[in-house]
Amino acid sequence: MSTENEGTEVPADPSAPSVPPTPPAPPAPPAPPASADDVHPEQQQTQVQPQVHAPAPAHAPAPAHAPAPAHAPAHAPTPAHAPAQTPAPEPATVAAGGWPPPPPAVPAWGAPVPPVPEAPRKRTGGLVAAVLVAALVAGGVGGGIGYWAAERGDDGISSTTVSVGDSPASFKRDPGTVAAVANKALPSVVTIQAKSGGGGGGDSEGEGGTGTGFVYDKEGHIVTNNHVVASAAEGGTLSATFSNGKTYDAEVVGRAEGYDVAVLKLKKAPDGLAPLPLGDSEKVAVGDSTIAIGAPFGLSNTVTTGIISAKNRPVASGDGSGGNNSYMSALQTDASINPGNSGGPLLDASGAVIGINSAIQSTGNGFGQSQAGSIGLGFAIPVNQAKNVAEELIKTGKPVYPVIGATVNMTDKGEGATIAQEGAGGTPAITPNGPAAKAGLKPGDVITALGDRQIDSGPTLISEIWTHESGDTIKLTYERDGKPTTTTVTLGERTGDN
């Protein structure tokens, strides 16, 4: 708002004329209406202006240098139906021509001031409305006029203005608002500092990174992304800082590179830890509200909001061609997620965790972490999958992956997942006596669907398989020589990342 007009003088009262049309006289009370019901609201604000005779003095000599007004009437005409009025007392002295009367005598200092007759009240609703409209159109003029309009009510009664800084002491945020959810969740979200061992010996420290995690249980387990802690997993140091500023050393319990999930444990966990409640990522719908909490670019305790913009989005956390890439059938959100948000919770409107923020779409470097900012395409590991992985890591320290027992082409897209002619290092593409072999699959077959999910590439197939658990039996559709065939496959398992 502009301040150049903040000193605008308060306008004078429009109901007080500079020269009164008639000599001041006590107003006669208006005749009361027959009943309250017979009077309209707008009529109740109108006062009768009494008319009085003002006879001029017979022998008042005119001053030598004060000519009488050319059009001064000898007396004011009396309306035909005006009620009889008591003549006003003749003033002791009258100015030349009988009008205007001299100004009232100024009382001596400390003497009581005689009461001033109340000015006739007029309807000011239209005036105030015009002032308010003008204030909206010209916002910079609000300093003077806005205050004047606030001080004057339509009924002439002064009103009290409330300072912007005043807020009701009893103000409370309703449950389910973003502020309420964030306020409850923030004490259970930590900022993770990971530093590698340095590799140079002595006390030197290696490179560090910042990520996010959240309290999983009261024993002090923290769930985050594997890529947040990978640099410190071998000989490095880890710490977790809560929203109250307290920092605790931590250690790795287990990591799953393929899922991009890791579990830490606070070395000296404080009492009173409040684990975040876990939701059900299968019940999430596109359009549901989301809240992301993390430390983007090191800015701890940052809260952003958005919606679920897509489900079952096949995402590779790297470029999709390496052996240590992570794959997920991700929840896509437009909540702002940046480097440093990784490992933090994606919450629903009730404050339950529905995913772990893991990757972003970059305009330059593809999926995964980069120094590019958010463009509204963030991806989270569904919490149902993350929970299974975390429980396994806490229990055994190693991840367990469901597998199909076949090597597929990871570069072709759009036609399904094609089973390769041979595996890595010349090994068979179909594991002997494995799940795919038992289901009748052969090299060259193109897998087009797993359950009710369409498969368009190798990464999509892996992402979808990893949403299940080993031992699950799933319907599988594939094409051989252009002919579609449906079979069932019971998933096997692989323990560890090697």
pLDDT digits (tens, 9 = 90+) for 285-320: 999 999 999 999 989 999 999 999 999 999 887 544
Q: Quick one: what percent of the chain has pLDDT higher than 70?
A: 60
Paired tokens of 50: 């009494």
pLDDT tier for residue 173 given thresholds of 50, 70 and 90: confident
Residue 27 predicted with pLDDT over 60: no
Residue 493 predicted with pLDDT over 70: yes
Residue 374 predicted with pLDDT over 70: yes
What letters, b where the CB count within 10 A reaches 16 and e where it falls short, cover 2-12? eeeeeebeeee
State how far the Cα of 9 lies from the Cα of 132, in Å rounded to an integer.
Answer: 16
State how far the Cα of 362 lies from the Cα of 161, in Å rounded to an integer.
Answer: 50
Paired tokens of 138: 């010209």
What confidence score (pLDDT) does residue 172 get? 75
Mean pLDDT of 249-265: 96
Residue 468 predicted with pLDDT over 90: yes
Mean pLDDT of 424-432: 91
pLDDT tier for residue 492 given thresholds of 50, 70 and 90: very high
What confidence score (pLDDT) does residue 203 get? 46
Residue 187 predicted with pLDDT over 80: yes
Q: 473: Cβ–Cβ under 8 A, 6 or more apart, which residues? A: 488, 489, 490, 491
pLDDT tier for residue 260 given thresholds of 50, 70 and 90: very high
Mean pLDDT of 377-384: 95
What confidence score (pLDDT) does residue 434 get? 95
Paired tokens of 195: 């530093």
Helix (H, G, I), strand (E, B) or coil at 478: strand
pLDDT: is 50 or 412 the higher one?
412
Residues 360/340, Cβ–Cβ less than 8 Å: no
DSSP letter (8 states) at residue 141: G
Residue 75 predicted with pLDDT over 90: no
Task: Report which of 249, 183, 200 is spatially closest to residue 222, judged by C-alpha positions.
Answer: 249
pLDDT: is 430 or 64 the higher one?
430
pLDDT tier for residue 390 given thresholds of 50, 70 and 90: very high
Q: Which residues are catalytic?
A: 227, 260, 342
Phi, psi (rounded to 5 degrees) for 44: -70, -20
Residue 470 predicted with pLDDT over 50: yes
Question: Would you list the DSSP string of 70-132?
Answer: TT--SSPPPPTTPPP-PPPPPPSS--GGG-SPPPPPPPPTTSPPPPPPPPPP---HHHHHHHH
Mean pLDDT of 223-229: 95
Residue 87 predicted with pLDDT over 90: no
Q: Which tens digits make up the pLDDT trace of 130-154?
A: 433 433 333 333 333 233 333 333 3
Q: Which of 19-23, 107-111, 469-473 has the highest mean pLDDT?
A: 469-473
